[in-house]
Amino acid sequence: MILVTGGLGHIGSATVQALLDAGEECVLVQRRKPEIPNGRFSGPVSAVQADVQDLDALQAIGRTHAITGVVHMAGSMPWPPNPDEPPVDAARNALGGLFNIVQVAQEWGVRRLSLASTIGVYAGLVDTGALSEDLPVPLTAPHVIPTFKRISELLGQHLAAATGLEIIHLRISGAWGPLGHLPNFAFPAPTFVHAAATGTPVDLSGVAGRCRADDGLDLCYVYDLGRATALLQTADTLAHTTYNVAAGRLTTNAQVIAAIRSVVPDFDVELEPGASVPPSYLDITRLHDDTGYVPEWDLERSVADYIAYFRAGHPQ
């Protein structure tokens, strides 16, 4: 049985479904009371309310479920910021959650622990084009999320060597699709799709960057991310401990808009031409070689599915 923290979230839900498709049983861990919506998953799953910062609660899960693997999707970082929590306490609690996950994984003798990381760990590199896992990442970061993900990777490497536990790091890029953030502060594609599906004006006020026509990112539809994660978690053997998890291609805003207009011809948005950031995407050769993963959701299929999702009345 695979334990998935954040298993009702954006990537977590897709991962659980992919694990079910692979014949695995899953138990979900959510900080809030986990109420599984009808139709979310194709089969039964167990759900437990627990905070990863509560070691006793996590250990109790192992007394009622035979956990064989762990996928840690819940964020071990102080984000979004809580103005009522002192920064030092916030950082301590965030890292404490990571330590708790590693501790219970070791206690349960799991086969593999997967820790979600981010493309943001590459921020600051001057390289453009395909970014490979072998590139040396800077020790500085522009945001709290890549900051703590870099810390998580370093701690994971140390703890894997010290404990003998197999820990892998998933550098995830451009997650979008059902249950995703709306708006997504990192890129505007979900905002474009929502506006087109609902017939409302495009509002980019909640998007921090990448808002010019030729700005792009390695956008990966969430179902592909879930399947890639499941493949890594269940592979018999892995040759590496760090994997780029993405589509392996650059998708620009102009391409997203063109795909939307193939479904909603009168979609209206005007972007400043050019790009504000150098083009880059993730090299997924390592992921493909070790698991056979090939993205199944191209841009046109993703856009059509996401528009249909919003038109069905889903809020995000």
Percentage with pLDDT > 70 across the chain: 100
| Confidence (pLDDT) at 249 | 97
Whole-structure pTM value: 0.95
- Indicate the angle between helix axes 253-261 and 299-311, nearest 10 degrees: 60
At 23, the pLDDT band (50, 70, 90 cuts) reads very high
| Confidence (pLDDT) at 316 | 77
| Confidence (pLDDT) at 78 | 86
| Confidence (pLDDT) at 237 | 98
| Confidence (pLDDT) at 138 | 86
| Confidence (pLDDT) at 89 | 92
| Confidence (pLDDT) at 126 | 78
At 65, the pLDDT band (50, 70, 90 cuts) reads very high
158 has pLDDT over 90:
yes
Nearest to 149 by CA among 125, 124, 174, 115: 115
Higher pLDDT, 222 or 81: 222
Q: What's the pLDDT tens digit per position in 66-102?
A: 999 999 998 788 888 888 899 999 999 999 999 999 9
Mean per-residue pLDDT for 236-258? 98
DSSP annotation string for the chain: -EEEETTTSHHHHHHHHHHHHTT--EEEEESS---PPTTSSSS--EEEE--TT-HHHHHHHHHHS---EEEE-S--S--S--TTS-HHHHHHHHHHHHHHHHHHHHHHT-SEEEEEEEGGGGTT----EEEPTTSPPPS--SSHHHHHHHHHHHHHHHHHHHH---EEEEEE--EESTT--SS-TT-SHHHHHHHHHHT-----TT--S--STT-EE--EEHHHHHHHHHHHHH-S--S-SEEEES-SS-EEHHHHHHHHHTTSTT------SS-SS--EEE--HHHHHHH-------HHHHHHHHHHHHHTT---
157 has pLDDT over 90:
yes
Q: What's the pLDDT tens digit per position in 175-210?
A: 999 999 999 999 999 999 999 999 999 999 999 889
Report the chain's mean pLDDT, rounded to a whole number: 94
287 has pLDDT over 90:
yes
Q: What's the pLDDT tens digit per position in 94-148?
A: 999 999 999 999 999 999 999 999 999 998 887 678 999 999 988 888 889 999 9
Mean per-residue pLDDT for 208-215? 93
